[in-house]
Amino acid sequence: MNVQRGVRVSQRTIEVGMGSVSQQDVVAVARHDAPVRLAADALAALSATRARIEALAASDQPVYGVSTGFGALATRHIPVERRADLQRSLIRSHAAGTGPEVEREVVRAMMLLRLSTLATGRTGVRPVVAETYAALLNAGITPVVHEYGSLGCSGDLAPLAHCALTVMGEGFVRDAAGVRRPSADAMAEAGIEPLTFAEKEGLALINGTDGMLGQLILAAHDLAGLLTTADITAAMSVEALLGTPRVFAADLQALRPQPGQAAGARVIAAMLEGSPIAASHADNADHEYPIVQDAYSLRCAPQVSGAARDTLNHCRWVADNELASAIDNPVVTLDGRVESNGNFHGAPVAYALDFLAIPVADVASMSERRTDRLLDVKRSHGLPPFLADDPGVDSGHMILQYSQAGIVSELKRLAVPASVDSIPSSAMQEDHVSMGWAAARKLRRALDGLTRVLAGEALSAARALDLRQSAPAPATSAVRDRIRQVVPGVGPDRFLAPEIETVVDLVRSGALVDAAEVVTGPLG
């Protein structure tokens, strides 16, 4: 899933300092290769806390991750001469991911977020470690990370270990051209020196929620655009089904002051402003198809998309809190203590990821119901069966709705939370985990499904508007016309799959929102 709309693509350098990275910055670096640099305050903080770690390393005091083993092996004291081996072995053993490669944008987001935590100066790594992460991002070198390996607790261990392995000059990467290569070769070509990790550094690179957080931020960005698209397609369907725009009036929405609902109703009302179709049946008593109340999938569209917006805003708040965090274990406190903690537990992010999967499924479910209504001659108020050119000879959009139904069914399964599960690990030392990475992976799949369902509704609603006697509203006409630039209008059955995929690309890119906003002004 990759919705590009809403991020200004530029070469603005993202300065990574102490809590300075925003959600927009993450999208810019992950998707648009915005360059990064470490802020002066970050470099100073890194140097100061590294001095504290080196002092502890020279003492007899046992410190987790500095002079001890890890997890259930934390009781083992590691002599000074073996501590580089300790960090190297940690990364090699934890880079145990398996399955398909994770998307480039996810890995870049993860690396930026780990760099952001390093820049707080609370992890105790040397400045050169943070500088190497920044250099890899700027060179477009992306570690190969695999689908499975994180339980969302003790950090996204395996995914982050694959990134750290690259810093050591080991494992595999995709270079800026997308070619899979040995890390050492790509780094040498870019002039980046591999590192040998000192005390605590390997541990500091894997104890974070960066993988699941990066995916939450990307998902939140994408869903915001999709919810505006859902209101646009809802307006098109309301108009094509001879629904009334009166239910979206601001005074009716104000009777239930949910902010997301009001926002959704404003979008739909703006889309239907000046609709000759709506005007043609404003007086139901004189119309061929008198309608007392529209079906819920039409009348309640802003209630559902609005609740999704409010859920999204909560999840963005969680992401902002996480961006302001310094997650590591142990952590170097402001007064110089090195303390173990549980901040690496992914529950806050995991719950947000699972939460978003619920409205994604519900918005798609309502969209599919509107499409089905457009195709059903008994409920479409005068439209031909399945919007077919010659019903019986032609099947029209009959099977398009089948595809939507299959996706919606899967989205309901994907809405089942991952975070309610936990499997103990590390010989019961890590006896409760968040499964946040799994929640993130299924949310990305769910967003792709919602994109495809909305595309199906847009394609069908555009065809239905073509079949009405009166002209659509200026805004819905603009969206219909944008679709017509790439997909022909009414006619005998054609190979439908490519047309659906073309409109999927329009939805994913935000092109339908852009077309509407030429008429309405900003909608999101």
Distance CA 225, CA 309 (A): 10
Q: Is the predicted pLDDT of residue 472 greater than 60, yes or no?
A: yes
**Does the active-site annotation cover 64?**
yes
Total-model pTM:
0.94
Q: Is the predicted pLDDT of residue 5 greater than 70, yes or no?
A: no
**Which of the following is catalytic: 64, 133, 296, 402?**
64
Model confidence pLDDT, tens digit, residues 114-139: 999 999 999 999 999 999 999 999 99
Distance CA 459, CA 454 (A): 9
Average of per-residue pLDDT across 428-448: 92
Average of per-residue pLDDT across 147-156: 91
Model confidence pLDDT, tens digit, residues 371-421: 999 999 999 999 999 999 999 999 999 999 999 999 999 999 999 999 999
Residues 6+ apart with CB under 8 A from 364: 404, 407, 408, 411, 449, 450, 453, 454
Q: Which of 215, 226, 225 is nearest to 23 (CA)?
A: 215
Q: Which position has the higher pLDDT, 58 or 407?
A: 407
Q: Is the predicted pLDDT of residue 72 greater than 70, yes or no?
A: no
Q: Is the predicted pLDDT of residue 7 greater than 80, yes or no?
A: no
Residue 340 has what pLDDT?
87
Residue 63 has what pLDDT?
79
All domains in the chain, ordered by first residue: 14-208 (1.10.275.10), 215-520 (1.20.200.10)
Q: Is the predicted pLDDT of residue 492 greater than 50, yes or no?
A: yes
Average of per-residue pLDDT across 96-122: 97
Model confidence pLDDT, tens digit, residues 334-363: 898 888 899 899 999 999 999 999 999 999
pLDDT range class, residue 9, cuts 50, 70, 90: very low
Q: Is the predicted pLDDT of residue 113 greater than 90, yes or no?
A: yes
119, 42 contact by CB (below 8 A): yes
Model confidence pLDDT, tens digit, residues 205-224: 999 999 999 999 999 999 99
Listed range (159-168, 275-284, 302-311) with the worst mean pLDDT: 275-284
Residue 77 has what pLDDT?
81
Average of per-residue pLDDT across 256-277: 97
- DSSP code, position 60: S
Indicate the Cα dihedral angle 113, 119, 120, 121, nearest 10°. 130
Model confidence pLDDT, tens digit, residues 285-302: 555 655 668 999 999 999
Q: Which position has the higher pLDDT, 209 or 2?
A: 209
Residue 287 has what pLDDT?
57
Residue 6 has what pLDDT?
42
With a pLDDT cut of 90, the percent of the chain lying above it is: 82
Distance CA 333, CA 340 (A): 10
Tokens encoding 218: 């990307």
Average of per-residue pLDDT across 508-521: 98
pLDDT range class, residue 4, cuts 50, 70, 90: very low
pLDDT range class, residue 426, cuts 50, 70, 90: confident
